Structure 1
Amino acid sequence: MTHATEPTHRLVSTETGRIHLVEQGSGPLVLLVHGFPESWYSWRHQLPALAAAGFRAVAIDVRGYGRSSKPAAVDAYRLTELVADNVAVVHALGEESAVVVGHDWGSPIASTSGLLRPEVFRAVGMLSVPYTPRGGPRPTELFARMGGDQGEFYISYFQEPGRAEAEIEPDVRGWLADFYRALSAGTMPGPGEPAPYLVSPGGTLRDRCPAGPPPGWLDESGLDFYAGEFERTGLTGPLNRYRNMDRDWTDLAAHDGAPLTQPSLFLAGAQDVTLSWLAGAIEVFPATLPGLVCSELLDDCGHWIQQERPEETNRLLIDWLTGLPG
């Protein structure tokens, strides 16, 4: 164990703007990448734990979020651009390589970083969203078939610029509380209730989110922080990530079906609704993740794994990190 320094905030420059990051500790670099609709703050439980274990933990605001740059062009949020941001952060911190760990959208950002720049990202950790190599039909065609007569799949709902923003931005705090609740163990819809990831014809995504207080892992100050960030920045940048999935499919054509060969880790909540449509990706891990070291599903845990179960997530992350080759 080493003494954990206090976290520091800084901005680093990239070719296309700036990335806000929060850094704590010293030692081998671990880059933490959040998902939607989140922030560097989603790693608040991991930063001090990783620092105390002897790592230099750095959590970023992904492009479009927080105090990072927010380009106006939709195509500025394609995966190749976000990989370039991650590489720029590593180099700006004076390092040649790092371990990258992502949650939710951060997971494919992390895995694509490892796939495209293996000389920089020596190991890859994925939380809640398993590695899914590029392949199959164009993503928007696939998503259009997923809702069927039960409603429109949420990723399809997010495609039209301005549509989801019109739902979310008039009441950011209330929408976030409902969305976090809908994907958390203990507050998510029960069996037989309408799926929270489908939108009824003429309805909104929030219509299917259960009412009630925020989930137990999110106190009022935490909700205030998230709400304050999105009230200040809006949701267009974060939603533009979804609007680039077809571009990603084209950009990564040369890597169709490619395995991720670095040492890897996958953690998810056993009650995470994401696994209902991505279970097949886990089944083929022996082929797609030949370097997989640890794969765990945490009982009584939903989608927000590192916030719902911080101590267990920290233990599994640190065990994996300390076992990696130097």
Structure 2
Amino acid sequence: MSQPPAADGAHRLVSSPAGRTHLVEQGSGPLVLLLHGFPESWYAWRHQLPALAAAGYRAVAIDVRGYGRSSKPDGVEAYRMLDLVSDNVAVVEALGERSAVIVGHDWGATIAATSALVRPEVFRAVGLLSVPYTPPGGPRPSEVFAQMGGTDEFYVSYFQQPGRAEAEIEPDVRGWLAGFFAALSADTMPSPGAPDPHFVSRDGMLRDRFPAGRLPAWLSEHELDVYAGEFERTGMAGALNRYRNMDRDWEDLAAFESAPITQPSLFIGGSLDSSTTWLANAITEYPTTLPALAASHILEGCGHFIQQERPRETNQILTDWLTALAP
């Protein structure tokens, strides 16, 4: 089976509740599990795998279920948050480990946080990139999203109906991904005052507001080809089904309402990343919600794709934090 390239990384398939989970592994030492976001794959961590390995860690980046070489179970409900947590636990066990540090970006940050929350005996520390930790609870997510945007529709609401976003994306996966990555990256995002690419005009498409004609500096044509090639092969439904379970997750995690994560933690956000700035209040609540937080870093002039836009800074922050953790 052909694989996308990873510098000195070993590709493996391991058994998990999803069926199988594909991972790329590099280095030896304490296990660090890396979770990507939307619309990405293990490849989002290509700059971190060698850096963490060189620092003395066993760095493992997975394809979350529904993505890449990992299994894609049928049915929207197969992508509930607790199912993804179970996949992560299975990966740790399949690698012969009892515990891991877990680090995630975008949706991966929320999956990592939930994994640490519900399985603290497995995940001894948690690093979050882009999306701050917000404890379970509060209003039902679909009701919150429905109230956003006025006459426009918030992208999470747009993603809810199976097949709707797929019909926009799949006829031109590469072009759509190029626009999406550009829309949320610091050097190519729309200027202040331009229509917000997180919202869809009534009867429009999300891509209507994407920048066109230029890739962000962090993304080469080859790297875009790697991402596009995976989604051309798999389709988009598995990735989008994560968004379609937010109300189910809200119900499933009711027992953890307002619960803090007490393990050592780290946050890295971008000053130009809406995922960070919209949730600024969550960051101010970290003394309560992340009482063992080591540091909260906001990278000035950085957009959403933090570890790819600013790999050197991200690698340094991660390795410094990991070094400071008790073994």
Relative to the length of structure 2, the TM-score reads 0.97
Say which SS state the counterpart of residue 97 (structure 2) adopts: coil
User: 2:95 corresponds to which residue?
Assistant: 93
Secondary structure at the residue paired with 2:274? coil
**Displacement, 1:186?**
1.3
**What's the CA shift string for 1:37-69, capped at 9, x where partnerless?**
000000000000000000000000000000000
| CA displacement 1:102-150 (0-9 Å, x = unmatched) | 000000100000000000000000000000111111000000001113x
Pick from 43, 46, 49 the counterpart of residue 41 of structure 1. Answer: 43
Structure 1: 4+ residue segments shifted above 6 A: none
Aligned-partner residue type, residue 122 of structure 1 = R
Distance (Å, rounded) in 2 between the aligned partners of 1:85 and 1:15? 6
Whole-Å Cα distance in 1 between the matches of residues 244 and 312 of structure 2? Answer: 34
CA distance in 2, matches of 1:75, 1:278: 27
Structure 2 partner of 1:287:
288
User: Aligned residue for 2:15?
Assistant: 13
In the superposition, relative to structure 1, how do residues 69 and 106 fare at CA in structure 2: closer, same or farther (>3 Å)? same
Structure 1 residue 325: deviation in Å? 1.0
Counterpart Cα distance in 2 of 1:217 and 1:270: 17
The reply to whether residue 270 of structure 1 matches residue 271 of structure 2 is yes
Aligned to 1:71: 73
Provide Cα deviations, 1:82-104, integer angstroms capped at 9, x if missing partner.
00000000000000000000000
Amino acid at match of 1:35: G
Give runs of aligned pairs for residues 117-266 of structure 1, distance below 5 A. Answer: 117-149=119-151, 151-266=152-267
Quote the sequence identity (%).
72
Stretches of structure 2 that go unaligned for 5 or more consecutive residues are 1-6
Contact 1:6–1:25, Cα closer than 8 Å, also in 2:
no
Q: Counterparts of 1:23-62 in structure 2 under 5 Å? A: 23-62=25-64
Shift of 1:276: 3.5
SS in 2 for 1:295: strand
Residues 36 and 63 in structure 2, CA contact (< 8 A), matched pair in contact too: yes
Q: What SS does the corresponding residue of 1:259 show, helix, strand or coil?
A: coil
Greater CA drift, 268-277 or 86-95: 268-277
Secondary structure of 1:82's partner?
Answer: helix
Report how far residue 242 of structure 1 moved: 0.1
Does structure 2 conserve the Cα–Cα contact (< 8 Å) formed by 1:24 and 1:57? yes
Aligned partner of residue 279 in structure 2, secondary structure: helix
Q: How many residues align?
A: 321
SS at match of 1:267: strand
TM superposition score normalised by structure 1: 0.97
